[in-house]
Amino acid sequence: AVYVDQVVSDSIIRGAPPVGAELGLHCTAAGKVLLGFQPPERLERILSQLRLAALTAKTITDHAQLRQALRRVRRQGYAVDDEESEVGGRCVAAPVRDREGRMIAAVSVVGPASRFNRQAIPGLIRSVLAVTAEISRCLGYREPLSSPAHRRLFKK
């Protein structure tokens, strides 16, 4: 997978992989979204060829653990990278869907763990889900009102 665009923070401390940079599918939030929303047969083909290199002590390096994480990503509708690709960095990502409901891209927000702390993550998840829902709607996708992501966005 490749980063195709970005908006860079004005903060001095920021995570900004360059446009065109490849991202790890097993250790980034966007990568886990891109894997987690693949059709099962395509996912298995990808996983059979995917080397799970350890980038930090938190990187998933076991295929069974990755499959479990991807089931959770699919169920909750988003992924989190908690210092799995870089020590001191956290990221949240969610899928963008086309009019048929197929995942066609992921949107992520990345930053230093000092700002993307445990208290900030739920708000970041809501923001990323709202953005990807709007992009998906613009592409013709209509999310079922009963979906977990929809319930999270609009719960009181």
Q: Mean pLDDT, the chain, as a whole number?
A: 85
Q: 82: which strand partners?
A: 90
**Do strands 79-82 and 103-112 pair parallel, antiparallel, or not at all (unpaired)?**
unpaired
pLDDT single digits (tens) 88-137: 989 999 999 999 999 999 999 888 888 888 899 999 999 999 999 999 99
SS3 content of the chain, % helix, strand, coil (to 5): 35, 15, 45
Q: 111: which strand partners?
A: 90
Phi, psi (rounded to 5 degrees) for 18: -65, 150
82 Cβ contact list (under 8 Å, min separation 6) = 58, 90
Give the predicted TM-score (pTM) of the model: 0.82
Confidence check: pLDDT of 21 > 50: yes
